[in-house]
A and B are shown apart, each in its own frame.
Chain A
Amino acid sequence: MSLITLQGIGKSFKVAKRSAGFAEAVKALFVREHTIVEALRDISFTVREGEIVGYIGPNGAGKSTTIKIMSGVLVPDAGTCTIMGFTPWKDRVRYVRHIGVVFGQRSQLWWDVPVIDSFELLRDIYAIPPGIYRKNLDMLTEMLSLADIIRTPVRQLSLGQRMRCEIAASLLHDPAILFLDEPTIGLDAESKIAVRNFIRTINRERGVTVILTTHDMHDIEALAGRILMIGKGTLLYDGSLSELRSRYGTQKTITVDYKAGASPIDVPGVQCLSRSSGRAVYTFDSDRIDITELINRLSAGGELADVEIGSPPVDELILRLYKEHRV
């Protein structure tokens, strides 16, 4: 049964045109010129309970707008949206009890006080019963290793520590759905992995449905069984990562290290991605070019020290998808 259903959601914004200069600014006080920007056009998809969905797209594609509509902040112009039987924007107060939202770039914690104080205030805002609060707090403290930082003021935390606290804060009230807007932005490798592991765990063990937006394709690779891609306000791709791979998977990369003195060469039908003295990276279609033959030809440029063949990183698959749809 689907937990989230969006049907033909559309949303456009009126954006005031602003021009530079004092005279223009004065004019703008009285006459405003507007352009209509279509942020979302006919977006439809469903999400089943317990899924992790990666919602991706270039900046300005409409990701945040969709998240805002699904979390009850924004009212769309067209279409219907049913989440757990609620229409988010109509039943806001009752609906938002069931969701957790993390806006990666904006904190929901109170800056100058220890983290635990913020948690306690959230307990009061959500009216979480003491027993459940205790249980969730203990669980989250353990899973996210917060014990050492929970009494520290937020302003003294590192970004990674803060993000762990943000995620904990959004789960205190047992939400069924978690919306994560760029949860790993700016984090170091260790924190990223900690955040990903945690998301996987709560999804598996507590059945929390997760919708996350990200620009980091490793997030998608590590977490999302399913990708929704949006570009210029339209849904362009809805499917699994492995499908995407098999669609573009014949594309391989080859990295060649030459022994001293050799200069990388060009091979017809093979695209060179980067080249420095002694090292070159190429990409080619393994359906059309034989790998042994390619290595032979490359070795004509000098003695090879190392050769590495790989499938393209997810980033590139996505980039191809963007290019295909010209977004």
Chain B
Amino acid sequence: MRLYFKYMSILFKSQMQYRTSFLLLCAGQFFVPFAVFAAMYFLFERFGGLPGWTFHEAALCFGVIQMAFALAECFVRGFDAFSNLIVRGGFDRLLVRPRGTVIQVLGSNFEFTRFGRMLQSAVVLGIAVSGLPVQWTPGKIITLILMIIGGVVVFSGIYILAATFCFWTVQALEVANIFTDGGREMAQYPLDIYAKWVTRFFTFIIPFGAVSYLPLLYILDRTDGPDLLYMAMPLASLLFLLPCLAVWRIGVRRYRSTGS
């Protein structure tokens, strides 16, 4: 873990070398998703919103997923940008160092311009929290934090899967974006507005539902069963991450036997 922060500090220094570019990208990262959020606001304004969801409820869901996405893009960028490492041969370099591959790939890249997006998500979360008639008990605050962490874990899992794919081919990477960008776009709205199979896919296969929709019900006091179950739902993201890491190992083994 200490090493992870060392990697982070050297890459932060690197990115600070190009300050103007950094600030502009941060600003871009702030305004682009903010425009999406504004669009959502006007939709609610004009059409009275989603059935069963108020604007602030939907905003909470939106903010959680956006925040998780921003954190993942910043701190798990190494896997997201893994194809660069493969193409430039940097992975061989990692293999001659006495550390595990996961920590080294994580440390290979960070994208600090996502601070802009984090700030944007924080603003949205602020708007949602202040506008909701919810009693913020410690349990609910913890659940909210767990939702964000769980979201980061789910995005990380997808990045790791996509990175593993690079061991076979670096040509078809756009496929992974269906799940990262697509997943983000889907999960930033309460999942029950979609068709059943979509909801199921994003609950049981890629558990976005477990980190956003289900615990959201607990925060909004709409649970139908033991609260603890809803609160603990974000932990399901770990069940998703473990097989992703296992697949990663297989990928590394394959790389070391094929060298490509």
Residues of A near any B CB (own CB < 8 A):
13-14, 29, 65, 68, 71-75, 77, 89, 92-94, 96-97, 99, 101, 103, 106, 108, 110-113, 117-118, 120-121, 124-127, 153
Contact = CB atoms under 8 A, between A and B. Distances in A.
Q: Which among B15, B95, B172 has the greatest number of chain A C-beta atoms within 10 A? A: B95
Nearest to B260: A13
B10 interface: yes
Contacts of B88: 106
A74 B14 contact: no
A73 B98 contact: no
Range, interface on chain B: 20 to 34
Nearest to A108: B93
B167 to A, nearest CB: 13
A124 B89 CA distance: 22
A93 B98 contact: yes
Contact of B95 (A14, A65, A92, A110): A92
B260 A126 contact: no
Interface stretch (B74-82, B142-150, B251-259): B251-259
Interface string B28-46: 0000000000000000000
A206 to B, nearest CB: 20
Given A13-B259, A65-B259, A68-B92, A126 B14 contact: no
Given A74-B259, A89-B256, A121-B7, A112 B97 contact: no
A118 B11 CA distance: 10
The 8 closest A-B pairs by CB, nearest first: A112-B14, A73-B95, A101-B96, A97-B98, A112-B17, A75-B257, A124-B6, A93-B98
A127 to B, nearest CB: 8
Contacts of B89: 103, 106
A125 B97 contact: yes
B13 interface: yes
B205 interface: no
B90 interface: yes
A111 B89 CA distance: 15
Contact of B3 (A73, A92, A103, A124): A124
Contacts of B14: 110-113
B96 A96 contact: yes
Nearest to A25: B171
B256 A73 contact: yes
Contacts of A72: 95-96
A92 B258 CA distance: 17
B99 interface: yes
B201 to A, nearest CB: 24
Contacts of B2: 124
A108 B91 CA distance: 11
Given A68-B259, A110-B14, A126-B97, 16 more contacts: A72-B95, A73-B92, A75-B256, A77-B257, A93-B99, A94-B98, A96-B96, A96-B98, A97-B98, A106-B89, A112-B14, A117-B13, A120-B6, A121-B6, A125-B3, A125-B98
Contacts of A127: 98
A126 B3 CA distance: 10
B98 A126 contact: yes
A163 to B, nearest CB: 16
A93 B101 CA distance: 10
Contacts of A14: 258
A176 B10 CA distance: 28
8 contacts: A13-B259, A73-B259, A96-B96, A96-B97, A106-B90, A110-B10, A113-B17, A124-B6
A97 B98 CA distance: 6
Nearest to A153: B17
A239 to B, nearest CB: 29
B100 interface: yes
A106 B93 CA distance: 9
Contacts of B6: 120-121, 124
A224 to B, nearest CB: 22
Contacts of A92: 95
A118 B7 CA distance: 10
A63 to B, nearest CB: 14
Contact of A13 (B18, B172, B256, B258): B258
Contacts of A101: 93, 96
A111 B6 CA distance: 16
A111 B18 CA distance: 13
Nearest to B96: A101
Nearest to A105: B89
Nearest to B5: A124
A93 B100 contact: yes
A162 B6 CA distance: 22
Contacts of B98: 93-94, 96-97, 125-127
Contacts of A120: 6
A72 B104 CA distance: 16
B137 to A, nearest CB: 42
Nearest to B253: A75
B232 to A, nearest CB: 35
Contacts of A73: 92, 95-96, 256, 259
